[in-house]
Amino acid sequence: MGIWDAITGRSRVKANNLDALFNVPNAAVTLQTAAGLVPTGTGSVCFRSAAGAAFAETRDDVVELIRSDPQAPSVEVTDDGFGFTWLVVRRAPDDVVGLCTDLHAVNTSLEVQGFASGLLCSVVPFEDRSGRRVGLVYLYKQGTFYAFAPLAGQAQVRDNLLEISVRDQLTGELPMETDLSRWFALWGAPGL
């Protein structure tokens, strides 16, 4: 922050670093060994859809780009009740590298076509043997990650202990979000 920003009370937005998504496979190894959490094989990108043919064409191009992969992962587009669109990619649970490459391609394609302002987050879900799930959430506009763990069978209740535990385990591997007010609940997110 410069002197002028300090005087006017402005702060600079932290630049996103989509390449941080490529650190998720190493983080997945840490989560598996430290907490027994394994990838589910599902990943998603959440964005606010823009009106118009250009956005629809870009979205369709992104889906086609992912489907053109020789191992062709499953791709679907869904809308939630909050006005956001989710592009969901499904791969084998052990192909975290391929999944993160797909999520990176979706984000980059939307960004290059001028729709970066609508990007919200990317989510890579994990689960343990007891069925507990946690999503590793990448906040596009912050360039940071946080954990979101909804409690199974309970409406809109979070497992805060699991979320903090995941944060602590991954602090050295991923840029973790330190402002807890940005740890948004993603109720109904695909894969969670």
pTM for the predicted model, two decimal places? 0.84
Structure confidence at residue 64 (pLDDT) = 74
Backbone angles phi, psi at 137, to 5 degrees: -105, 125
Residue 102 pLDDT exceeds 70: yes
Confidence of residue 13 (pLDDT cuts 50, 70, 90): very low
Residue 166 pLDDT exceeds 80: yes
Structure confidence at residue 2 (pLDDT) = 58
Closest of 117, 169, 124, 163 to residue 140, by C-alpha: 117
Distance CA 87, CA 59 (A): 9
Between 67-71, 133-137, 145-149, the lowest mean confidence (pLDDT) is in 67-71
Structure confidence at residue 155 (pLDDT) = 79
Confidence of residue 92 (pLDDT cuts 50, 70, 90): very high
Residue 28 pLDDT exceeds 80: yes
- DSSP SS3 for 131: coil
Measure Cα distances from 24 to 56, 83, 122, 123, 158 in Å: 29, 27, 11, 11, 22
For the ranges 12-21, 24-33, 150-159, the maximum mean pLDDT occurs at 24-33
Closest of 139, 125, 49, 131 to residue 93, by C-alpha: 125
Residues in the chain: 192
Q: What is the mean pLDDT of residues 76-84?
A: 81
Question: Mind listing the pLDDT tens digit for each residue in 35-60?
Answer: 999 999 999 999 886 656 666 676 67
Q: Is residue 104 within 8 Å of residue 124, measured between CB atoms?
A: no
Distance CA 183, CA 113 (A): 28
Residue 10 pLDDT exceeds 90: no
Measure Cα distances from 143 to 8, 19, 105, 108, 191 in Å: 24, 10, 16, 13, 22
Query: Mean pLDDT across the chain, nearest whole number?
Result: 85
Structure confidence at residue 1 (pLDDT) = 52
Helices (H) and strands (E) in the chain, counts: 5, 7
Q: What is the mean pLDDT of residues 11-21?
A: 71
- DSSP SS3 for 151: coil
Residue 104 pLDDT exceeds 80: yes
